[in-house]
Amino acid sequence: MKEIIAVVRMNKTGATKQALVESGVAGFTAIKVEGRGKLVTNPTLISDRKKELLMMAGDDETGEAEKLITDFLVGTSLFPRRLFTILAHDEDVTKIVQAIILANKTCNNVGDGKIFVLPVSDVVRVRTGETGESAV
């Protein structure tokens, strides 16, 4: 048994849920979280993304949007994300991980999330007392 932990963009929550259901996942938990990954150090990428985000923000006479975008790009603020946890049989892990990747990969070259796969030593179904693989 494995636990799959996926941290994804908030706007990919629906696509991730659909991908998990379509891949046959028995159940999962989703939690709103905040965090940040590795800082982007490529100045061209940062500049291009800043221009794109400022255009999306529209008119900003107060400068608040530019400050938020700058903080976001240089790493002084946390990003809202969704954390999914899934218990899976060993033979299903690759299929589930691929479904998560397919639902979350973008062309932004940064910030698409992370997936962690961890071993699970035991599971207990509270209602029936079943343990191990049958409790998943």
The answer to whether residues 17 and 45 belong to one domain is no
Cα–Cα dist 40/42, whole Å: 6
**Positive or negative, the Cα torsion across 57, 62, 67, 68?**
negative
pTM of the model: 0.78
Counting the structural domains of the chain, the total is: 2
Q: Mean pLDDT score of the chain, rounded to an integer?
A: 89
CA-based nearest residue to 45, from 108, 1, 91: 108
> Domain containing 57: what range?
38-77
Is 84 in the same domain as 20?
yes
pLDDT band at residue 130 using 50, 70 and 90 as cut-offs? very high
Indicate whether 100 and 133 sit together in one domain: yes
Which pLDDT tens digit goes with each residue over 47-63? Answer: 787 788 777 777 767 77
Token representation of residue 17:
């849920």
Q: pLDDT tens digits for 87-127?
A: 999 999 999 999 999 999 998 777 789 999 999 999 999 99
Tokens, residue 86: 């899934």
* Pairwise CA distance, residues 108 & 47, whole Å: 13
Best CA proximity match to 101, nearest among 114, 88, 90, 92: 114
The pLDDT value recorded for residue 69 is: 77
